[in-house]
Structure 1
Amino acid sequence: MKKWWIVGGVVVVVVLAVLVGPWVYGKFIAEDDAPAASVSTEGAQAATGSVDGQWVVTTGSGANETAAGYTVSEILNGARVTVVGTTGQVSGAVSISERKMTAAEVVVQVADIATDNSRRDNQFRGNVMDAAAFPTATFTLDAPVDLASLPTDGTPATVRATGALTLKGQSRPVSVDVKVLHSGDTLIASGSVPVTWSDYGLTPPSLGFVTVDGNGTVDFLVSLTRA
């Protein structure tokens, strides 16, 4: 009889591990990443000079440090978590004339985008993005953006930008709400572009222990100074 109690106890433990394990992981272990960076007004100053001119992406500083990457939701070991991958390896330029943004390009080095998990990053850089063959992701503006409403008192405004997003060599038209701040002699802009990965020929991983959603966002925060 004692032997059957032992066997029964083992079975109960196994069943509980299978049924309750994912709940325990999601409740006490899995954590969402910090959200993608957005324009911060901390320490913002009144604008210095006109917004017109040529601007280039710089590293920025503090909460407005330049960064770009992606946000996705995935089920990891039975728990839903939000993953944010990011890099500071971003370049680009903006042209503004008569308070209209007439040209803009942002270039992101894909192989430098990282999360807190090296196995996830290896999948992203290899099987998903093929960063060796397609080392950059880009956004290129294709229609002027009116900046006439951009405040000069150190507060931000939101404008709508349309352009082309290129991932893994595939370009698609996109529209994005961009938060813009003119602080001192610096321009800071951030936004998140909604993306369906299959539109760009990307296949989100589904490896048993992890399944990534088919939708997410491409995120950016760029600080710019005069060229």
Structure 2
Amino acid sequence: MGLRTRTKVIAGIAAGIVVVAGVGVVVGPRLYADAVNGSAAAAPSLSPSAAGTLDAASADGTWRSGSGSYAGYRVHEVLQGQDVTVVGRTKQVEGTATVDDGRLSDATVTVQVGSISTPESARDAYFRDTALQTDRYPTATFRVTKPVDVSDALDGSTQDVTLTGDLTMHGVTKPVQADAQVAVGEGGTVQVAGSVPVTFRDYGVEAPSLGFVTVDGKGSVEFSLALQQ
């Protein structure tokens, strides 16, 4: 990142610049925090209509993510004493899952991290160019390494599961656990929604601390998948 771009990032966060209807309005930290928190997407959850069923034979095989799938991150920061929740999202996510006799035996989710965006373009530039260096590490991947029973979800329940696997981000792979929910959705799709807690330093990523704004050293990677055979 060049000096001019870095200066824009710092100045934009410090001043709390919010663009409304194409007009830049400079506001105080409290109003900026309220605006960002108000626009932050909710944590991934299953659709209220996800209450279908699948017999074990029909569920066996490979499933792939389709329309409606997304992934991203959630992080907390403090801007001049104001708590701010920042959520980034992208639909450029590919997921595959293998079901065998009522068990999720294998699954992989790959995210194009350079496409993750928030309402603030300067923050996104810092995320891409400085924090995660997406020109060198364009993807993040979560791979399930331990089979988990999902038979309750196939029988029509919303099932809470713990997914054990490896998360690769910024060129570093670490073992993680993801809390997730699984259910059968409309048209025989399978929905999976959850999050992976991360400590940025574990992946060689330093959370910014610029005096006026401090980003927590921990956050979460979030995902919501609509899987189809």
TM interval, short-chain normalised? 0.7 to 0.9
Please list the CA deviations of residues 204-227 of structure 1 after superposition, one character each: whole Å capped at 9, or x if unmatched.
12234422110111100011000x
What corresponds to 1:46 in structure 2?
Answer: 52
The question of 1:31 aligning with 2:53 is answered no
What corresponds to 2:18 in structure 1?
Answer: none
Instruction: Check conservation: 1:177, 1:192, Cα contact below 8 A.
Output: yes
Deviation at 1:145, TM superposition (A): 0.9
Sequence identity (%): 42
- Distance across 2 between alignment mates of 1:133 and 1:25: 32
- How many residues align structurally? 198
1:25-104 equivalences in 2 (<5 Å) = 26=33, 31-32=37-38, 33-42=40-49, 44-49=50-55, 50-59=58-67, 65-104=68-107
Larger Rg: 1
What corresponds to 1:126 in structure 2?
Answer: 129
Give the structure-1-normalised TM-score. 0.81
Please list the CA deviations of residues 49-77 of structure 1 after superposition, one character each: whole Å capped at 9, or x if unmatched.
43221101112xxxxx2110100001124
Instruction: Check conservation: 1:25, 1:78, Cα contact below 8 A.
Output: no
User: Secondary structure of the residue that 2:37 maps to in structure 1?
Assistant: coil
* CA spacing shift, 1:23–1:115, aligned 2, 3 Å: closer
Deviation at 1:40, TM superposition (A): 1.7
- Distance across 2 between alignment mates of 1:193 and 1:114: 19
Please list the CA deviations of residues 18-39 of structure 1 after superposition, one character each: whole Å capped at 9, or x if unmatched.
xxx655655x655351223221
Alignment RMSD, CA only?
1.8
The question of 1:116 aligning with 2:124 is answered no
Instruction: Check conservation: 1:30, 1:79, Cα contact below 8 A.
Output: no
Of 167, 179, 191, which residue of structure 2 is paired with 1:177? 179
What corresponds to 1:216 in structure 2?
Answer: 219
Give the structure-2-normalised TM-score. 0.80
- Distance across 1 between alignment mates of 2:48 and 2:35: 33
Please list the CA deviations of residues 127-149 of structure 1 after superposition, one character each: whole Å capped at 9, or x if unmatched.
00000110000000111111122
Of 139, 143, 146, which residue of structure 1 is paired with 2:142? 139
Query: Which structure 1 residue ranges, 5 or more long, are not aligned?
Result: 1-20, 60-64
User: Secondary structure of the residue that 2:128 maps to in structure 1?
Assistant: helix
